[in-house]
Structure 1
Amino acid sequence: MSGRQPDSDAEGQSPEDSPDAGASDSPADPSASDSTQTPKGGVTGGDEVYASEVEGKQYRGTWYLPLRYEDLDESPDSEEYPETGTGGSFRITDLPRVPRVGHVVGPSAIMLGASLGSGETLFWPVLTAQFGWTVFWAFIVGIFTQFLINTELQRWTLATGESIFRAFARVGTYWPWAFLIGGLISLGWPGWAAGAAQVAATAFGLDGSVAIFGFSIATWKLIAAGLMAAIWLSYQISSVMYNVVEVFQIGLLFVAIGAALMLVAVSGSWVEFADIPAATGSVGTLPEGIDIAVFLGGLAFAGAGGYLNLSQSLWMREKGYGMGNYQGRVKNPLRGDDPEPIERDGFTFRPTVTNLRRWRGWWRVVQLEHLLTFVLGLLVVAPALMSVAIQYSPGTTTNAIQMWLGDVVPLLGPLGSFLVFAVLFVALFTTEYAIVESFVRNSADALYESYGREAGWDLPKLFWRLLTAFCAWGVIIILLFTSPFEGQEPFFFLVVGAAMSGVMMWPYTALVLVMNTTRLPEHLQPGWGRVLGMWWATGFYGYFSVLLIGTSLTNFGLAAFETAPSILGSGAGGYALWAMYLTAQAYTVSKSAAGKRAAAGTVPDADEASGWFS
């Protein structure tokens, strides 16, 4: 494999000398012919840790700075560099200087868009309508647990430029395949496009059917198929696949958030917030009769959830975070120049004091970007919609889409009804858009890293073909599938996908924690506070996954697999499931703790980058 060669042997220009250096389609000529080159070209003087305003603005696109990959030093097998596992060694160069948070907003905005049409619009409003604010504690716990998981998913990419799937492949080549299959099961059902189409059909009075070639097809199915086609067409606008997604998602987010806040004001549902303090006594308990599948779906989608979360790694690589700035970009093979290579074995940096301080700065920026975009956005929109559901559909027994369209809309005036339709349609469509993007990007990367690269495949062509196939698959499923529960096709898709997403989060959360504490050097590892938080996360999703698995098996007639919430009172098979859970949890805790202890004191000046919550 050879790295991309520069157009000139001269030292690279700094962003100040070449303002267009960071353009996503015209990357700057690199200066890196050795491992000690200063990031962003031969910048001299100024702040050695933080990027200038001109330099930082380059991140508003997707910034790629190519290096002479083969000319860089390879990382030695020592405690100061990431462990290679089954892969090759990393190439050494400096960590880029740290931009401001405002310059790198993007990946978390896409994640927020993926969240709005799932838990925040559907699962949690219907749960709170049924049980009031007594389940709100689980939503808050779910959000902050996902914040922790998502930022840990970013750690490896920030440190090496490699995707999370390449990191998984270093542990074992079977892991990308396992998560790809789980992703297909959880996201292979176009429920959000179906839900958005049902909302649009109801809003415009198009609830009937259309006869096509002698077949009667529901109007909402035709609309849903059209939405899938629109998503596919939008990718043809830009030469860099990521850019179009970021622009569309941020624009749609403004519409959804604005409409949700207006709906609270128009409906008067803000008065329901006064009941939240009285519900604090229910923290840690579940109401009797709650549907465990819907609840686990809500936990998984208190945020994006499941396979979607893994995309955070790839989006930050595309944006150019940290060492991802030296990786290529996935371009549309039908537009623009030839795509840059995504280097297989990534990059690392020497743990000098300057690089360690840059790492600490980058880590702070990554967390703030996710907190201020993803977490804050969810805390604004979701409670707003929950309050409307509580006021206008208390104790509902219908699914979420029927609750909004059948219970809430008839009780609101014209403006309120319009806002409900607007929020639902935009939220569901943004989620379907993000799901297509996430599934295709994740799956292309998983296939490429586990098989395609060695077979000589082209990553952008693989991405484009998967995009086309996935959109076509969605159209076929929408047009031909009929739910076993008459009239509930869209929500049936959603429950299946959400529950599987929750189950998937258990193994990959544990794997990411073990990987980050045993394969990264001391200065790049999570602090003890984060390790404790990840122990909680693995236990949290593992516990509810076992409950769901046991309940599902029991519903299929396998009563021996009944799993009691208190563990005691479970069936014989249920006890086996709980034993598996406890074994996995004990392994995760012991392995990650051992990794932390083994790395302690192995890297000089590691405290420049480390901290309790680093």
Structure 2
Amino acid sequence: MDSSHPESGDTAASTGSGTERPHIPAQRPAPSTEAGTNPPSTPTDTAGTAGSAPEEEERFWKAGRLEQMPIRRLPKAPPSIHILGPTVFLVALGVGMGESYMWPRLVLVFGPEIRWLFLVGVTLQAVVMLEMSRYAMATGESIFYGAARVFKPLMWFFFATAILVYIWPGHLSAGASAFERVTGIPWQLTAVTGMLLVGVVFTFAKVIYNLLENLLSICIGLLVVGSAVIAAIVGNLSDLTSTLTGMFAFGYFPAEASTALWFPVIVGSIAFAGPSGMQQMWYTLHLRDKGAGMGAHIPQIRGLRHAGEQETMPSRGFMFDTSDPEEMEKWKGWRRWVSFDALVLFWGITMLVTISFTVLAQSAARFDPNVTELLRGGDRNAALDAMAASFSAAGSPVLGTVFFCFIALIGLNATLGLFDSFSRGQADMTFNFVPGAKKIGMSKLYAIFLWGLIAFGICILLFGPADGPAAILDVLAFLSAFAMGAYCVVLLLVNNITLPKPIRPGIFSNAIIAFAAVFYLGALFYSLFAFGVVID
């Protein structure tokens, strides 16, 4: 999909740019008579610009007690098959220590048959991705705004959770630690430099989304190709076969996996099969900035240096006429577009990378038979060390260096995605629901949260424990996993209450999301009450 962003549907002039955003004529939807839906209301004002022909009376869609959504035309969907898109953000956030570290560790201890749980986890995430996109593409609003339409405290829960969970610079610290092994440069110096560099790049970017999509696409391409090459060098056909067949060993769960030592690890690994915590929720904001569906009517966020060029942000999203067959046909086109994203780009790329790292883990077990016992003894770094040693043994010590460079790249990917996503999400909620925030503007709010995150991270890296106090981490891990179950519940409420009936999810989709909510929350609370610990 082209990275250019369609113009806004609002008639307000662009502030600071000197150009007027063209008006998109409103449509008159047929009044809704379905039970459980809100018929469009008719306000007293009309849409139009000076000197234009008389236009139809503007119509609105009412969802919850918040501001109604004006009816606008849905843009035509691009071709379903594409390469670039907002999925790169989820892949960058999802292909992290879970895929490269947590699951290889489980394979070393329990064998490749344990990977059926990964298949369940990443497939649930793909369905969640599809349902998150439903609301975002239909309205141009984030899922946070949708939660506020149902019940405002739901949104504020996620606002607080984001601050508690994502201000700790864990991903960047892990990547910097791997880089230290390669260069000898202290990881604190690399991490601080990396955070400042990310802040400067985002500050000077004209349109943040376009820059970040291109950067992450390059990084993900290197990661996918590089991990596959590494696996091909050190693995063999037997490793690949057992990795693939292990994904379908449904029901395999050895007795040791049910112990207090490993059950929380497995719960955490399932939660981190793909993006975890609030990363799926932030995806709705990236869809909007990409111009997907009704997000075409919302301006993109600009970097702080170009904040004066920021177009006027509407205070609510838009809805299209779901009674118009032509509009519904375009809607089906957008659903095909995002389905390709979810099933091919997200599910496929995530699976490919984890297959590569699983093959690498099995080759590591052959090279160092003691690695399994080291892991059972609590040596968390044993898996990465063994995989690096295996790679070196397959060629030369230089290859071990290349492996750690890939771990550093994973940390960089996650940092770019997390810093942008956190700032974008907090700015969105603040702009829409904190009195007086609209006067500051979306771009400046984004910059405030971005540099606040960077300042806190630097303080923690230089003056405190990089991962935070252990007692706090237990709470944060709980909140991260709890957020996943909670956003599944919110998805069910938002999509089935605030959207018109023709575009609500079907029974099958609702059943999967409900199962995901029970699955995440049930496993988390069982781990908490049975073993006194949460995810690890």
Q: Same fold (TM over 0.5)?
A: yes
**Equivalent position to 1:536, from 515, 521, 526:** 515
The structural deviation recorded for 1:135 is 1.7
After superposition, where does 1:92-491 map in structure 2 within 5 Å?
Answer: 92-102=71-81, 105-206=84-185, 219-276=186-243, 277=245, 280-281=248-249, 283=251, 285=253, 287-289=257-259, 291-335=262-306, 337-350=308-321, 351-393=323-365, 394-395=371-372, 396-397=374-375, 402-411=381-390, 412=392, 413-452=396-435, 456-482=439-465
Contact 2:302 2:443 in 1 (8 A): yes
Q: Where do 4+ consecutive residues of structure 1 move more than 6 Å? A: 25-28, 67-72, 398-401, 488-496
Contact 1:72 1:91 in 2 (8 A): no
**Equivalent position to 1:548, from 527, 530, 533:** 527
- Name which of structure 1's ranges 103-112 and 512-521 shifts more when overlaid on structure 2: 103-112
Deviation readout 1:9-30 (Å, 9 max, x if unpaired): xxxxxxxxxxxxxxxx999842
Name 2:479's counterpart in structure 1: 500
Contact 1:160 1:323 in 2 (8 A): yes
Code of the residue aligned with 2:434 in structure 1: it is: Y
Q: What TM-score does the superposition give when structure 2 sets the normalisation length?
A: 0.83
Name the CA shift for 1:127/1:74 in 2 (closer, same or farther; >3 Å).
farther
- List alignment gaps of at least 5 residues for structure 2: 1-8, 30-46, 366-370
Query: How many Å separate the matches in 1 of 2:183 and 2:298?
Result: 46
The structural deviation recorded for 1:362 is 0.9
Contact 1:297 1:495 in 2 (8 A): no
Query: How many Å separate the matches in 1 of 2:251 and 2:178?
Result: 34
The structural deviation recorded for 1:491 is 11
Code of the residue aligned with 1:145 in structure 2: it is: L
Name the CA shift for 1:292/1:471 in 2 (closer, same or farther; >3 Å).
farther
The structural deviation recorded for 1:403 is 2.6
> Given the alignment of the two structures, is residue 516 of structure 1 paired with residue 516 of structure 2, yes or no?
no
The structural deviation recorded for 1:494 is 8.8
Name the CA shift for 1:144/1:489 in 2 (closer, same or farther; >3 Å).
same
Contact 2:419 2:450 in 1 (8 A): yes
Code of the residue aligned with 2:447 in structure 1: it is: W
Name 1:60's counterpart in structure 2: none
Deviation readout 1:517-572 (Å, 9 max, x if unpaired): 122121110112211211211121121121233257x359xxxxxxxxxxxxxxxx
Name 2:12's counterpart in structure 1: 5
Task: Give the SS at the match of 1:334.
Answer: helix
Query: How many Å separate the matches in 2 of 1:175 and 1:498?
Result: 19
Name the CA shift for 1:101/1:237 in 2 (closer, same or farther; >3 Å).
farther
Query: How many Å separate the matches in 2 of 1:74 and 1:549?
Result: 53
Name the CA shift for 1:452/1:239 in 2 (closer, same or farther; >3 Å).
farther
Task: Give the SS at the match of 1:335.
Answer: helix
Deviation readout 1:480-526 (Å, 9 max, x if unpaired): 2237xxxx989999987655322211111111112211221211101
Task: Give the SS at the match of 1:35.
Answer: coil
Task: Give the SS at the match of 2:343.
Answer: helix
Name the CA shift for 1:255/1:555 in 2 (closer, same or farther; >3 Å).
closer
Query: How many Å separate the matches in 2 of 1:304 and 1:28?
Result: 39
Query: How many Å separate the matches in 1 of 2:263 and 2:20?
Result: 52
Contact 1:126 1:399 in 2 (8 A): no
The structural deviation recorded for 1:73 is 5.1
The structural deviation recorded for 1:248 is 1.1
Query: How many Å separate the matches in 1 of 2:470 and 2:363?
Result: 22
Task: Give the SS at the match of 1:235.
Answer: helix
Query: How many Å separate the matches in 1 of 2:49 and 2:491?
Result: 27
Contact 1:195 1:491 in 2 (8 A): no
Deviation readout 1:122-158 (Å, 9 max, x if unpaired): 2212122221113201111111100111111111111
Q: Greater relative contact order: 1 or 2 (C-alpha under 8 angstroms, separation 6 or more)?
A: 2
Q: What TM-score does the superposition give when structure 1 sets the normalisation length?
A: 0.73
Name the CA shift for 1:250/1:307 in 2 (closer, same or farther; >3 Å).
same
Code of the residue aligned with 1:341 in structure 2: it is: T
Name 2:3's counterpart in structure 1: none
Code of the residue aligned with 1:149 in structure 2: it is: V
- List alignment gaps of at least 5 residues for structure 1: 8-24, 38-66, 207-218, 557-614
Name the CA shift for 1:27/1:322 in 2 (closer, same or farther; >3 Å).
farther
Query: How many Å separate the matches in 2 of 1:103 and 1:453?
Result: 40
Query: How many Å separate the matches in 2 of 1:278 and 1:33?
Result: 54
The structural deviation recorded for 1:268 is 2.2
Q: Identity over the aligned pairs, expressed in percent?
A: 23
The structural deviation recorded for 1:259 is 1.3
Contact 2:205 2:305 in 1 (8 A): no
Query: How many Å separate the matches in 2 of 1:131 and 1:145?
Result: 22
Query: How many Å separate the matches in 2 of 1:230 and 1:359?
Result: 39
Name the CA shift for 1:525/1:468 in 2 (closer, same or farther; >3 Å).
same
